[in-house]
Amino acid sequence: MLWKKIPDPTTVIATAVTAASVVFTTWSVYDLATPTVPALVALAVGAGVELVWLFVLATEWKRANLTGDHSRGLTATGWILATLAAVVIAVHGVLASPALAILAVLPLAAKAGWHWQTRQRAEETRARIEAEQAEADRAEAERAEAEAERVRVEAERAERELALSVDPTDEDEREIAKLRRQANVAKLRAAAETDLTTAQAEADRLRQEADAEAERIRRQSESRMRREAIQNKTEEELAALEANARLFKRRQEVEVEMALTRPYALTSGTTPRVPDDASALQPGGGGTPGSWVASGAGFGGAMAHAGTAPAHVGGHVRGSDQQMPQVPGQVPGAVVHHSSAEAEVNRARVAEVFEVLHQATGEAPSIAAVARGAGVSDRAAGRHLRAAGLID
């Protein structure tokens, strides 16, 4: 509008007063300083004082115009500079002409004018800012309302399309995805449980195999130790039997030799006589295996009853006076070897060795083992075992 382009009268008046203050202040400083300093320096000092004051006024005006606020520091600085300019003008007027001292009110009047102009501009700026903010808020509200309307229309359109569509909705797809996820989890859980069951079964099988292997090794060890113990015991018993057999055999040989070398006495009177055949001989008592004595007096009995040594003729025994016992089938006068006694002893020893080996090994021993344990030949061991009915 046209009236907005016309300058504010108060602003014009404040500007005119300020210009007059600048002129008179600069002239007063120049007039006071020229006697002692160059004219240009005096002019520069006066203009500098006014320019500083004008700079403070401009800064305060700009702040009020932009933010609608004013600074107390800037206001105080402006008043100090205006007062300084008024003092300069007053001093110059007193020194030059007292009538000019009245011009000292120009800087103060200019500062007062701009003070109220700045306050007014700050209020106008605040009002403008508030109006702009209100306009912005209104525009934002309208935009938000338009956006809400657009969203509502879009939602209604989407709802109509959803009502007319045969495709699954987002909720349906979420439900389907949930079911598929549950099915996948169940499948994975079943596979994991199957793997776990298989692993447990495999572990049980390996554990059973390990236990069976340990039991087999234990049984083998026990069997080996038992066999070794039986073998050691058998060897010890065989060694003892062999030692006993050798001792018994040697004792029998000594007894046979002693029996063969023992002299016989002739009978006289009613003293019992030595039998003429082996049928009258009977086995000796216990503790004298293999010895034979005659029924009645026997060989020793005749000598005991006689109480004398054999008859000697001419310092020697007469061979015609000594008689030897006879056994059936033996030539009279032949030496008796007691083969029947030895056979019985050997047969008993062979049978004993057979029983010991059979109990130790749990099975029938071989003829060679029995013969080796009894200290006889394999042929004799076989004959005695068959005679005893231990083998066929």
**pLDDT of 208:** 92
Which tokens go with 381?
Answer: 């061991």
What would the pLDDT profile of 50-63 be if each residue is shown by its tens digit? Answer: 778 788 888 887 87
**171 domain-assigned:** no
Stated pTM of the model = 0.32
The most confident of 247-251, 252-256, 356-360, by mean pLDDT:
356-360
Q: 214 and 237: one domain? A: no
Q: Are 32 and 43 in contact (CB under 8 A)?
A: no
**153 domain-assigned:** no
- Sequence-distant (6+) residues with CB within 8 A of 90 are 101, 104
Q: 56 and 108: one domain? A: yes
Which residues make beta-bridge pairs with 115? none
**pLDDT of 329:** 42
Q: Are 354 and 390 in contact (CB under 8 A)?
A: yes
Q: How does residue 195 score in pLDDT terms, banded at 50, 70 and 90?
A: very high
Find the helix or strand (DSSP H, E) in which 313 lies.
strand 312-313
Q: 28 and 112: one domain? A: yes
- Per DSSP, 265 falls in state P
Q: Distance (Å, rounded) from C-alpha 315 to C-alpha 335?
A: 25
**CA distance readout (Å), 131 to 70, 138, 370:** 20, 10, 138
**302 domain-assigned:** yes
- Sequence-distant (6+) residues with CB within 8 A of 255 are 288, 290, 291
Q: Is the pLDDT of residue 3 over 70?
A: no
Residue 372, sorted as left (phi over 0), alpha (psi -120 to 50) or beta, turns out to be: alpha
Q: 202 and 301: one domain? A: no
Q: 195 and 240: one domain? A: no
**77 domain-assigned:** yes
**pLDDT of 339:** 60
Q: 24 and 133: one domain? A: yes
Q: 195 and 243: one domain? A: no
Q: Distance (Å, rounded) from C-alpha 325 to C-alpha 29?
A: 194
**301 domain-assigned:** yes
The residue length of the chain stands at 392
**160 domain-assigned:** no
Q: How does residue 130 score in pLDDT terms, banded at 50, 70 and 90?
A: confident
**178 domain-assigned:** no
Q: 247 and 309: one domain? A: yes
CA neighbor of 390 nearest in space, from 333, 348, 339, 334? 348
Q: 81 and 207: one domain? A: no
Find the helix or strand (DSSP H, E) in which 316 lies.
strand 316-317
**pLDDT of 262:** 59
Q: What angle do CA 180, 182, 183 make, to 5 degrees?
A: 65
- Sequence-distant (6+) residues with CB within 8 A of 382 are 367, 371, 391
Q: 233 and 370: one domain? A: yes
Q: Are 292 and 338 in contact (CB under 8 A)?
A: yes
280-286-290-294 Cα dihedral, nearest 10 degrees? -20
**pLDDT of 67:** 77
The most confident of 6-15, 64-73, 149-158, by mean pLDDT:
149-158
Q: How does residue 183 score in pLDDT terms, banded at 50, 70 and 90?
A: very high
Find the helix or strand (DSSP H, E) in which 283 lies.
strand 281-283
Q: Distance (Å, rounded) from C-alpha 114 to C-alpha 390?
A: 156
Q: How does residue 199 score in pLDDT terms, banded at 50, 70 and 90?
A: very high
Average pLDDT, the chain: 74
Q: 104 and 13: one domain? A: yes
Q: Is the pLDDT of residue 90 over 90?
A: no
Q: Is the pLDDT of residue 261 over 80?
A: no
Crossing angle, helix 367-374 and helix 378-387, to 10 degrees? 100
The most confident of 3-7, 81-85, 259-263, 312-316, by mean pLDDT:
81-85
Q: Distance (Å, rounded) from C-alpha 75 to C-alpha 61?
A: 10
- Domain of residue 371 covers 228-330+338-387
Q: Is the pLDDT of residue 283 over 50?
A: no
Number of folded domains that form the chain = 3
**166 domain-assigned:** no
Q: 199 and 243: one domain? A: no
Span 199-215, average pLDDT:
91
